[in-house]
Structure 1
């Protein structure tokens, strides 16, 4: 199995999780996910026909007794609400992919490239669905080896490799749920992810391109690039057949872009979703906040 886009994570406040903002509820069919294994976090899902999804993630409030606060995902504890805080890829071999990435990092370091990033060994995690079914996965997460970007960097993805059947976690196929195809049919017509743009430090652009080639298992593609400070990669989505738009691929853009703090901030810059509704093409989902960075195409 090739490396594929899996999902993006939007952090909501507990209040917005309980009463999802209109720009989300009016545009998407949202299903309950459940609580993660240590009980400190919970999610809801927006599942697309291409097998990708947006995870609406929130901390349980109050945090449960007898458990370290934010124990399920401690690296997200300081992330800002209302933003995409992380994103994930998937594939078939958690440990094999880990070995590939670490070899790529060693090669970069041998050539004098210091990105300040490593990956931890795959770690088992899980979630209990609202219907009581348990699902398990391996998560392979990046980690800062310095502290300069520790609280803000999301320029490299983590991996989520399923141990249990993937359709338990992402019921996007016929037969995976009694609610199919309702749960993958959205008022805005969204059928999948067209592209994801990630901001990286301009001075690290060349190194990030090489790193992404190792992470994604594909070479950069200049056909989609419209500026010298951009690079793009085309990868698969989990669906085994194309969606209604005839597309089962998505594009990852790297954008070399600094910010007011110098070259310290890196983040998901934009998310473009395919829509089957011609009249919605070009629409942004909200006037402000991260919804203003989600465009239908």
Structure 2
């Protein structure tokens, strides 16, 4: 299975402010619209490699929904990531056969500001260390727009690396491997993650994005703090293209983002 990164979800408190702030960071930001549940709405940053950032805000709390609970307890920042399946029903069945506790696909949708209605199916595991799958029912170009919206003033062309904070590296490697149908490349390493000692292993997705699963060695440092506050899930993103830079977290609404022109 050659799954690719579909999108990364960032919770924000004020969608209009996030729209403006990400523009100030050099991104081209587009209005996404309102989800079918009437509770959330979003704006998007779409990249040339086909992945995108979803900045999502709540019109009212959504008790029992993990994203809402993470946001309302820990504030703005990452809440999830998604992969794009080849055929969602078949890909979910294959992952389930390999032992992943992934639920069957369920329908979802969103109404764009221009009136275009989008439909998709998602499938999730209860554990947030692994991504959910998001497969389009309507053409993907309606959900993930093409053309000039993928050009960014800061030069970013895609997602080079996504680091996921996990509690049990071995267990998460097995779970992520069951989803992808592959083993982690390079094995477990020890090193520095955001200035703190950690152990990590890297998998590579179909579009070249490296996913680094990382667990902190100890209870101090940004990785351990994020894990304690937000639970397992995305910790940082490194974009490819543009000049090397750490992006201002006050403008990125709590998301740890960086650009590296040398990342392939």
Shorter chain as normaliser: what TM range? 0.7 to 0.9
| Aligned counterparts, 1:231-246, within 5 A | 231-237=201-207
Q: Is the 8 A contact 1:286 1:292 kept in 2?
A: no
User: What's the Cα RMSD here?
Assistant: 2.6
Q: Is the 8 A contact 2:47 2:151 kept in 1?
A: yes
Secondary structure (helix, strand or coil) at the match of 2:129 reads coil
Q: Is the 8 A contact 1:137 1:164 kept in 2?
A: yes
When normalised by structure 2's length, the TM-score is: 0.82
Tell me, which stretches of 5 or more residues in structure 2 are unaligned? 192-197
One of 173, 194, 207 as aligned partner of 2:171: 207
Aligned residues: 242
CA drift at 1:225:
5.1
Distance 1:103 1:188 in 2: 43
One of 70, 75, 87 as aligned partner of 2:66: 75
Tell me, which stretches of 5 or more residues in structure 1 are unaligned? 64-68, 107-117, 145-153, 173-179, 238-248
Describe the shift of the 1:78–1:294 C-alpha distance in structure 2 as closer, same or farther (beyond 3 A). same
One of 209, 212, 219 as aligned partner of 1:253: 212
| Aligned counterparts, 1:1-297, within 5 A | 2-13=2-13, 16-20=14-18, 23-26=21-24, 27-60=26-59, 63=60, 70=62, 74-80=65-71, 81-105=75-99, 118-143=101-126, 154-172=128-146, 180-181=147-148, 183-201=149-167, 204-222=168-186, 227=191, 229-237=199-207, 249-257=208-216, 259=219, 265-275=231-241, 277=242, 280-281=243-244, 283-286=245-248, 293-297=256-260
Larger of the two Rg values belongs to structure: 1
After superposition, the C-alpha distances for 1:61-96 in whole angstroms (9 at most, x for unaligned) are xx4xxxxx538x923221223211011001121111
Secondary structure (helix, strand or coil) at the match of 2:246 reads coil
